[in-house]
Structure formats: structure tokens, C-alpha cells
Structure 1
Amino acid sequence: MEIKEEFVAQTTKLKVAIIHDWMFTRRGGERVLEQILNLFPQADLYYLFGKPGKVLQLKHSHRFISSFLSKIPLIEKIYKNLLPFFPIAIESFNLENYDLIISSSSCVAKGIIPPPLAIHVAYIHSPMRYAWDQEHRYFKQQPKLTKPLEILRRFLLNRLRIWDVTSSVRIDKIIANSQFVARRCKLYYGKSAEVIYPPINIKYFNISNAQNIISQKRKVLLFGAWTPYKKMLQTLDLLIANKISVIAAGQGEELLKAKAKYGDKVEFYIDPHDEKIPAIYAQAHCLLFPAIEDFGIVPLEATAAGLWVVAPNKGGTKETVIDKVTGYTFYETSTESMLSALNAALNKDITPEDKKNMALHVENFSEEIFLQKMMMTLLDCLNSKRDMQ
């Protein structure tokens, strides 16, 4: 029996719950969530708050169940201030009738309370960045007796870390989206994780059909979520100062700030629709991805579209960018190293042989491989649990 047939045979009658943190935009985590939901037509989707009906592109109809936080007016604008309440909200879901629970988590979704006989598989996009390794990037002020609110903030983060560790014992199987994330799961939770890379819709970008627009000045693309830890705005400042032609695309407050600052010097695409993205890639010669990322779907999309990728030689891009084959890597803490790698990419033609190498590389991250590995892992979990009962 083929893996798909066996998977369908064993899971069709299971009652399945899929858990996600929140969704206001369709980013990498939401694309993974879509693939997981597509494996289970009968699954119910639980989430803290957001707009799954507008954000997700699904093959089947699912029941959506949100937490009590979703009733708060203007939740999309204030939710970051409600972080201390997230564990309470995620634990409030009643999952007693489910056989299989899959959490898709970059915050608290992995902390659900499963019933004793259910299997809980957690797909970890990242341990909570603001509570662990990037706390000091998000909260730069040091706690002082003269700043009681900052002391309270650090106290709450301390309690959140304790909850994050203790809730990890409720997971039967951890799947990480990269080796980088798997190492952090081991460090913070003391549990090993299997790595299954997020999927890329390779056919959508189709290297063989990609026609990079030829211009006298090769352009650099900055594309993604424009948040402080991704260093997009400060990188744009650097590129403008070095008279490098830039296309800026994505979503986030910092992108709006960038447009207000450089609207006459840079081509901007604010929150582009999926249909527009291949055309955006086609205008650039390379993608610059400045920060260390947990995985990074955008660099692989750029590779699938036939662009050089310039990215750090740490984190997720260390696993997805092959130096001098699919792109150029640099030391994340060195501006000089980044500019050197970027100039190397800008001065290097993209040959048919290069595009062939790019196409071979992204095949390792296809939707088919993702689904195959997920089905095999979930079947192993189901069979192991069955043997124990």
C-alpha cells in the first residue's frame, strides 16, 4: 500500500484538531498550516484570533473555533499587549473528544492541553522569540527600580518562559521547520525534534519560464515582513547610501516608514497579492535577506524564481542557501561582509547552468516532499501510540 493510501485509511475516521496562534496575513506559518489542513478534510481549526476565512487558501471546508480573545475590539492592533493572556486562552480550548491534535506554533499553540489518549504533534516554526533568544532585541530597556513597568514586563516574560517549558511535556512529537529551530527546541525544552522543511510551491515560480527583466542597473529585492528584528529598514538605509537600486516589498509598519522616507527613490510593493509576486521577483537580479531567520521561505521562493540569494551563513538560510551555487552568504554581524556578498551577486550573471542548479536545489523543498514526510511521521506517531495502549 502506498504511503498516501495508508495514511488516508488510518486517519479518515480520526477526529482531528489543528491549532494555530493567530492569522492576519498569509506568511510562511500560514502556508504550512494550509498544507496540514489539506491532509485532514475533517479537521477543526482552533486559533487565538484572526481571520482564517480571509487569510487561508484551503481545499476543504473546516470548522473554525477562536478563543475568547477574538471578541476584543480591534484585536489586530493591540494583541501584542495581551501576550500574558495567551497561555490562558490556548489552554481554554476543550479538546477532550479528539484523537489527533497538531499544533502549528511560533508562540503558544503548542501549549494546548490534550486528552490523555490523544496524540499531540507540534510543528514548531520557532520557540517564542521575544521570551527566549531575542528578548533583548524586542525589549531593549534594562529593568531598573526607577522603571517599575519594565520590571513587571521582565517578570511576566520569566513566567511565560516557565509556562513554555512546562507545557512542552504535553507534546508527543516535535517537528521543527529547520535544524536551527530544532537546536533551540533541544536547548529550551530539552526535547529532540525531527526536521521537516516548510514547502515551496515550485511550479508557481517556475525557473524555466522566469524571464528576469534586463535593465542597465541590476536591482536588489528586499522582500518579507518588515519588523525590527529582520533589519529591513536599516538595510534599506545602507543600500540607498551606497547608491544601490532597490525594490522593497512585503508588509509591516517599517515598510510604510520606508515608503514615506524613500518614496521617490525606491519602487515599493505594499502587501502584494500572490499573483503579483512572481512579477516582483522577475524585476530583480538578487534577493537580499539581511537577518538570521528561523527558516525563511522567501529566499527559497527567490531561488525558485531564478534569483541569487544573499543571506547570512547562520540560521535557516545556512540550510537553504548554497554559497556560490544558489547565492552568496555573509557574516550576519558584518556590514562589510554583507555588502561584499551583495556586490558579488550583482556582478555575477545568472546562466542557464545556474538556473538548473537552483531548480535542482529547490526540489528538496517541494510541497510533495513536505506532504510525504508529514504523512510518514504522523503514521509513525499513530502506530507508536497504538502499540503503547
Structure 2
Amino acid sequence: MEMKKEFIAKTTNLKVAIVHDWMFTRRGGERVLEQILNLFPQADFYYLFGKPGKVLHLKNKHLFISSFLSKIPFIEKIYKNLLPLLPIAIESFNLENYDLIISSSSCVAKGIIPPPLALHISYIHSPMRYAWDQEHRYFKYQPKLTRPFEILRRFFLNRIRIWDVTSAIRIDKLIANSQFVARRCQLYYGRSAEVVYPPVNIKYFNIIDQQNNIPQKRKVLLFGAWTPYKKMLQTLELLVANKIPVIAAGQGEEILKAKDKYGNRIEFFIDPHDEKIPGIYAQAHCLLFPAIEDFGIVPLEATAAGLWVVAPNQGGTKETVIDNVTGYTFPENSQESMIAAVKAALVKDISAEDKKNMALHVEKFSEEVFSQKMMKILLDCLNSKRVIE
């Protein structure tokens, strides 16, 4: 309580800008963004393009300011082809009148140009994946003389990597959403980052779970963003081939493909609203999270709802899943180990003691813990800042 009073006293009169990349769906990064915005009722919100009014659930009214790219028709369908323009767009924001700038970045938001006396704190969801460690997953064709477009693409990626590193110099304080992401910040930017785990509304899932009378079934839940690097579609096909009962939920082009193929055999929940998600968890016995993720809020939601979580023993889930306590882990590239872990989870009852252990574990990732840690970091930075006049 004392820290909150000090935080309010220290920040109320500051001119604050919050900067984000883009938003079309409400995923983990947007939930973090909401919590940051809620700390600053007076903050102005800058973003490249998207639909913040429809996506974000905010306590206060904020001034929304988008980049010139937001004027492009059908931007939500073509923005992935505009990567070379994103650094230009993010640097075009005029932030000269702000005292404190907080960027929420998984692509270019951290590259804003702050005024000399402002404090710039960047919360890194991930260094841009397509330019660094996942380039070859996003762009599968190797550059060849017979593929001049791929040569041009790799040239732009090289330029973007250079920009990405040099723009990190403009950050006063780096915050990473996991130890996994902090390691990548050190590797790519040569900068250390303090870890603050994303917030999970654990009370919401616990409360709904207690009121829900849907009988839990021995089914596997695949839930998240259905994009190629998350391996959801190929994992679904593997589960079906092994005759393992499955529920599929989430958003993305690949879940639509999956429904076309398996819609008469599997229950699908396409882009479910928040109020329906606890009920989806209640119908499964375990969650399967197949790919290495930067952090992964969904596994912690599932844990809060009382499910086993089956996930890789690398990346963010290495930090959020306790093997044989809250779930089962497996080596990422071993389909045999993954299926074995799923089968082990399906036959293991979830006792009252197991649910108690799950509840104790997820408490470390609550919204309250997130807010407390963010306020402490912000206060430390403001108290040690050279000058804010």
C-alpha cells in the first residue's frame, strides 16, 4: 500500500506515453499492455495500427494515436509484408513532450526515439522473431539467384537486424517477460533485462471453475494462436493419428483449416470470447502446449483452472510448468516423448492436493504481483533518473 501511494505521488504529474506495435486480437501481449495502461490513467497510447478500442479492456479513457500506416486499406491482411516500413513508422511518433515512455514490444515498439530528458522503459515480449532466431521458420525458402525476391527479403532482414540492435541503445531500462527472453535480449542486444512475468487473472479462472458444473473429461485441449511456428495443426494431426480425444480452441488461419478437415470429429471453439474460456478449460483434463514459446499465458490459465499442462522443457514453459507437479514436460523435437507425456497426463487423476499445488504455483503470476513488480521497477528508475523537469 505504501509503495502504491509513493508510485501515485511520483507519477501523477508526469506526462506519460505508452507505445505498442499493433493489435488485432487480444493475446498475451495485449493483456500485459492493459495492465501497464491501467497504472497510468493519464497516459497517451501510441500504436502502429490495429483496433485498440475493440481489443483492449481498459479501466480509463486514453488518447489513441496511430501511425501513418493505419491509413492503409485492409492493413490487417497485408501488414506482414510491410516489415521494412515499421522502423520508419515507429520513429515517426513525436514524443518530445513526454517525461516517461513505456514501450510494449515484440517487434519495433522499443525503437521509439525518446527526448533527451525522458525515461524510456521497454517491456520486451520477444525480440522480433522473424529477424532473429525464427527467421527460417517464417521464411522457409533459401535465397538463390533463381529466387531474387528471397535475396531482397534477406537484405531487408539484415538491415532490420542492424536497426534493431542500434535502437536498443535508446532504452534506459529493459524488462523481459521471461528468463528465456532475457537471455535473447543479452544475446542480440548485449543488454541485460530484469524479468517481470506477464499477469494472469487467476481469480477469474478459479472462481469460474468453482461455479462450473461441466464434468471434466479425459480430453486434451489445444488452445492458443494457430500459426505455423506454434505447431498446433501438426500436433492436432498427431493426436488424431494416435486416437487421443482432443478439443481445439483459439484463433488463426490454421484452426480454420483444421475445422474444415476435422469439424465432424472434433469439437472446435473458434476465437472464443473471454467469458467462454473457463468453460472450455473445464471440459478438458490437460492442456497440450506443443511449441517453444517466449512465455505463454495459456499454460498458466490452464493451471489456474486445475488442468495438467503438457509442454516443452524449454523456453517460457520451462519456467512456468513444474514437471510432475503442475504438468509434464518433454523435449521439443520429440513427438514420441510428447505423446507419452500426454498419455501420462490423461491417466493421472487431479487430486485436491494437486489443485492446491497448482494454486500456489500460479499465485506467483497474478495481476497483483505483476503490478507490484512493475511499480517497484518504475519507482527505482524514476528515483535514480538523471533529471525530469
TM-score range, shorter chain: over 0.9
Unaligned 5+ residue runs, structure 1?
none
Answer yes or no: is 1:89 the counterpart of 2:94: no
Answer yes or no: is 1:72 the counterpart of 2:72: yes
CA contact (8 A) 1:210 1:305 kept: no
The aligned residue for residue 146 of structure 2 is: 146
The aligned residue for residue 206 of structure 1 is: 206
CA contact (8 A) 1:90 1:111 kept: yes
Amino acid at match of 1:179: Q
The aligned residue for residue 299 of structure 2 is: 299
The change in CA–CA distance for 1:101 and 1:84 in structure 2 (over 3 A counts) is same
1:281-339 Cα deviation digits (max 9, x unpaired):
00000000000000000000000000000000000000000000000000001001101
CA contact (8 A) 1:212 1:283 kept: no
1:1-389 aligned at under 5 Å gives the runs 2-206=2-206, 209=210, 213-214=214-215, 218-386=218-386
The change in CA–CA distance for 1:211 and 1:307 in structure 2 (over 3 A counts) is farther
Pairwise CA distance, 1:218? 1.0
Distance 1:17 1:245 in 2: 47
Pairwise CA distance, 1:178? 0.1
Pairwise CA distance, 1:386? 3.9
- Specify the SS of the correspondent of 2:130: coil
Pairwise CA distance, 1:187? 0.2
1:87-120 Cα deviation digits (max 9, x unpaired):
0000000000000000000000000000000000
List 4+ stretches of structure 1 deviating above 2 A.
Answer: 210-215, 386-389
Distance 2:358 2:84 in 1: 43
Using the size of structure 1 for normalisation, the TM-score is 0.98
CA contact (8 A) 1:213 1:284 kept: no
Distance 1:384 1:333 in 2: 45
1:12-65 Cα deviation digits (max 9, x unpaired):
000000000000000000000000000000000000000000100000000000
- Specify the SS of the correspondent of 1:272: coil
- Specify the SS of the correspondent of 2:223: strand
Query: When the two structures are aligned, how many residues end up with a matched partner?
Result: 388
Distance 1:211 1:347 in 2: 22
Distance 1:191 1:13 in 2: 30
CA contact (8 A) 1:177 1:196 kept: yes
Pairwise CA distance, 1:212? 7.5
CA contact (8 A) 1:210 1:282 kept: no
Matched-pair identity in % = 83
Pairwise CA distance, 1:210? 6.5
Pairwise CA distance, 1:214? 3.7
- Specify the SS of the correspondent of 1:130: helix
- Specify the SS of the correspondent of 1:18: strand
Distance 1:231 1:213 in 2: 29
CA contact (8 A) 1:300 1:320 kept: yes
Using the size of structure 2 for normalisation, the TM-score is 0.98
CA contact (8 A) 1:249 1:270 kept: yes
CA contact (8 A) 1:18 1:104 kept: yes
CA contact (8 A) 2:311 2:330 kept: yes
Unaligned 5+ residue runs, structure 2?
none
Pairwise CA distance, 1:388? 9.6
The change in CA–CA distance for 1:328 and 1:210 in structure 2 (over 3 A counts) is farther
